[in-house]
Every structure is written in structure tokens, then in C-alpha cells.
Amino acid sequence: MEEITIHRLNDSRRQGPELAYLVAVEANEQESMWGAEDSLNELEELANTAGATVLGRMVQHLAQPDAQTYLGKGKAQELAELDKQLTLDLIIFDDELSPTQQKTLEKMLNARVVDRTALILDVFAQRARSHEGRLQVELAQAEYLLPRLAGSSTYSRQAGGSLGAGGTGGAIGVRGPGETRLELDRRRIRHRITSLRKEIEETHAQRALQRKQRIAQAMPTIALVGYTNAGKSTLFNALTGAGSLAEDKLFATLDPITRRLLLPNNQEALLSDTVGFIQKLPTRLIAAFRATLEEVVEADLLLEVVDIRHENAFEQSETVRDILDELGASDKPRVTALNKIDLLHDPATIDTSLYTNAVPISATQVTGLEELCAKISSVLADAMEQVRVLLPFERGDLVELFHRRGLIEHEEHDEEGTWLQGRLPHSLAAYFLPFVEVTE
């Protein structure tokens, strides 16, 4: 602690990164398999991504977080002392605080009180690029803020716009998407929420249309899913040659992007890169990203990327499974890419049996990708429909479509037309329905 105090400048308007302190309660009865220290490591990464420097952390073991002060009363007092001593800019709590906890803590502390949700929203706000992404983040922020505004010093203190260190558009926790500042007037927030919902609804309708056109093209769709920073975008680029932003940062990708992917047997599919998941992601946030995550919900196959070198790889994958459950997408066909094997001492030691249809790969070294595509192809084939059709000569287009998107097992021509037997993606089956021949 001493050392930290020496490095500190006592001027609260100094330039440079905001100084933060992390706080977690390790609850006895929590369902999650994450430990408090691992969760705090991740919170620290989030804080760094948001531009803060973390000076230290505090963990308390409790049956459950205190309803008023999150920490126990004594420990909260201790935190207040520390806050004075270090003149912190913000204190970040590793759970979502209730409005009551937020207010009580703000009375006790000089530093701004920021919880995990506000921090994630802050990172999202800095990352959102597309129009739709910005709308979704702003809506999630507005809905988060509304019940917390009355009497909150963290939010009302910033309203004048003069405070706040570092970063564009204000301080961590009160920044909107891009250069904007969050609206902090309750009446105006309510209006904004209504108009944001409407605008999102409109963009949503557009996406639904695009998706319909895609179904008309009848390619099987594959969505990348996985924990943030697992390497989804790197793999996306390696597989499609596209330029999706890949960075050693949490939530580098917010906006979905879709490209064509060529599988073995010249079968084509569409691959989408999407937003990463993180533990303790509030349901409200998932709801806000529902439009973006529709790529996931609508996909024929999910390609999960796991950073197998991460010490919490399994916990991260569990978290991904929980969120997919929440989205109603957990029973889709799945292939798991166990990524970053180039960083492992001995890749042969990986226990692939822990994951569904797992293939060890390195997205940066471009190793294992052929095996991965072969696995995708075979899992897709398993999920396809077995059909036998007789296509009349004038439907050469359907013969060609079957060749391109399906898997042909038998082909024959006679005076009636072309007989094709094989497997077709479900999305395509409807086109062939009038020509289906019952197999004896």
C-alpha cells in the first residue's frame, strides 16, 4: 500500500489514466464455478480496456453480499479509509449493484462507484461502430441508468460535464457510444428509450429481410461464438480472408460480420463473426444485443472458439453454454475449435473429450483448419436431410443448386430427368419438395 501512495499524485484533476480499486464478494452460495480471484483478474482486464489503472483489490467472503453496502459494514468502512488514503477516481464492484447499494456506497466513498455492468457497458460504448451497435449500447446504458439516477452522486456529479479524467466523452461509466456523453436527465432518458426502441425495431426489420434473402440463397449458416478474446475474429479472418478486427482486447468485436466460407467438397456456407461473451453478463445486456445475436439464434451450426491456453478455459466454455441456453440456442449442432495450441507446451495433452466435436487449432499459425472444416462439414451433413429427387430437365438450376449446397451420393439421368440422391440443408429442402421421390 505504501508504495502505491508514493506513486500517486494528489491532484484529482491530474492528467492520465483514472485510478481504480477492485472489490468483490466471494459468496458462499453462488451457482457459478468462477472463483473471486479469477473473476477479479477479468474485471481488471475490463478496467484496463476501459482505460483505468488498477491500484489494488479487495475480496471478502460472505454468505451473500450485504443488501446495503455489498461488502460487510466493517469492510466497507475499511474501503472508505483506503479511498481517502489513495484518492481513487473509481471503485469497481465485481457484481451488478442494486440502486440501494449504489447510493449507500456513494455516500461512504469519495470515488465514483462503478459496477461490473456499468464497466462492461462502458467498454461496449467505446467499441460500438455500426449504427445498430450504437443504438443497442445506448439503449442498454439508458435502461441501466434510469433506476439509478435519483440522488446518485456518480451520475449527477458528471452531469455538468466539467469533471472526468482521460478518454473522450467523459469518465469511465458515464460515457456514451463514441464521443457522446450519457444523457442524465430522467425525463429525457425516458423519451430517448422510447425512440431508441423504435429505431432498433426498424433496423431489426431490415436485418430480417437480409436474412430472408440469405435463406433464398440457401447456404447453411455458421455462427462463431465464444468467450471474449478467444480468437473468434482471428479464426474468422483465417477462414474467410476477411478483415474482421482482431485485437488482444476484450470485446474487440461488437458488430456482426458475415462472409462466405468454402468447405471440403466445394460446399459453401456463410460464416458470421459476433460479439464475445463474458461471465456475469446481465440478461438486460443480452436482450439489448438480441438483434446482433440473431446470427447465433438463426444459425444452422455454432462454431465455438475456446482459448484452450487460458487457465479458465473450461469455466469460459461453461459460461458460453449458459448464455446460449438463455438465448435458446444451446441444442444447435456444435463444433468446438480449441484455439491457441501454439502457446501450449504439449498440445497432445489436451483433453478434447470435455468439448463437443472438438478440433485443436491455431488461428494465428493456421494449423488444424483443414481438420476443422472437415469436422464442420460432417456435422452439417449429419444435420442435413436425406432426400431422393427426380428433377425434370428444365430444372437444371436445381440440379446445380444441389451440387453446390448439398452432398450428392448418387446421380442418374434417364428420359424423365435427373435423379439425385443425397443430403440437403434443411433450409433448402423446401425447394426440392415438389420433386421428392419416396425411396423404397
Q: Pick out the residues of the known binding site for Mg(2+).
A: 233, 253
- Distance between CA atoms of 342 and 347, rounded to whole angstroms? 8
C-beta of 12 vs 365, nearer to ligand GTP: 365
C-beta of 101 vs 233, nearer to Mg ion: 233
The helix or strand, by DSSP H or E, that contains position 229, with its residue range, turns out to be: none
Give the Cβ contact number of residue 12 at 10 Å: 13
Using rule CB under 5 A, residue 252 touches Mg ion: yes
Which residue of 101, 152, 253, 427 would you call a contact of Mg ion, by CB under 5 A? 253
Using rule CB under 6 A, residue 234 touches ligand GTP: yes
Alpha-carbon 250 to chain mean position: 9
Residues 242-281 that bind ligand GTP (CB under 6 A): 246-248, 250-253, 276
**Pattern 19-58, Mg ion, x by CB under 5 A:** ----------------------------------------
- Distance between CA atoms of 103 and 161, rounded to whole angstroms? 21
Using rule CB under 6 A, residue 339 touches ligand GTP: yes
Going by C-alpha positions, the residue among 382, 364, 243, 376 that lies closest to residue 307 is: 364
Using rule CB under 5 A, residue 233 touches Mg ion: yes
Which residue of 165, 200, 223, 230 would you call a contact of ligand GTP, by CB under 6 A? 230
What is the closest distance, in whole angstroms, from the C-beta atom of residue 365 to ligand GTP in the complex?
Answer: 6
Instruction: State in Å, rounded, how far the first CA of the chain is from the last one.
Output: 80
Residues 65 and 93 sit within 8 Å (Cβ to Cβ): no
C-beta of 102 vs 272, nearer to Mg ion: 272
What is the closest distance, in whole angstroms, from the C-beta atom of residue 253 to ligand GTP in the complex?
Answer: 3
Report how many residues bind ligand GTP under the rule CB under 6 A.
Answer: 24
What is the closest distance, in whole angstroms, from the C-beta atom of residue 324 to ligand GTP in the complex?
Answer: 15
DSSP string, 16-74: SPEEEEEEEEEETT------HHHHHHHHHHHHHHHTEEEEEEEEEEESS-BTTTBS-HH
Using rule CB under 6 A, residue 364 touches ligand GTP: yes
83: exposed, middle or buried (Cβ count in 10 Å: 0-12, 13-18, 19+): middle
Q: From the list Mg ion, ligand GTP, none, which binds 317 (C-beta under 5 to 8 Å, kind-based)?
A: none
Which residue of 58, 59, 242, 343 would you call a contact of ligand GTP, by CB under 6 A? 343
DSSP string, 357-396: TEEE-BTTTTBSHHHHHHHHHHHHHHTSEEEEEEE-GGGH
DSSP 398: H
DSSP 299: -
Alpha-carbon 372 to chain mean position: 22
Using rule CB under 6 A, residue 362 touches ligand GTP: yes
Annotated binding site: 226-233, 251-255, 273-276, 339-342, 362-364
Cα separations (Å) of 82 from 33, 54, 60? 30, 14, 15
**Pattern 23-52, ligand GTP, x by CB under 6 A:** ------------------------------
Which residue of 141, 229, 317, 427 would you call a contact of ligand GTP, by CB under 6 A? 229
Percent of the chain that is helix, strand, coil (3-state, to 5): 45, 20, 35
Instruction: Indicate the Cα dihedral angle 26, 32, 152, 118, nearest 10°.
Output: 120
What would the grid cell of residue 385 be? 436431410
Q: From the list Mg ion, ligand GTP, none, which binds 117 (C-beta under 5 to 8 Å, kind-based)?
A: none
What is the closest distance, in whole angstroms, from the C-beta atom of residue 273 to ligand GTP in the complex?
Answer: 7
- Which of the stretches 97-105, 189-197, 229-237, 328-336 binds ligand GTP when contact is defined by CB under 6 A? 229-237
C-beta of 23 vs 285, nearer to ligand GTP: 285
Q: From the list Mg ion, ligand GTP, none, which binds 164 (C-beta under 5 to 8 Å, kind-based)?
A: none
Interacting residues with ligand GTP (CB under 6 A)? 226, 228-234, 246-248, 250-253, 276, 305, 339-340, 342-343, 362-364
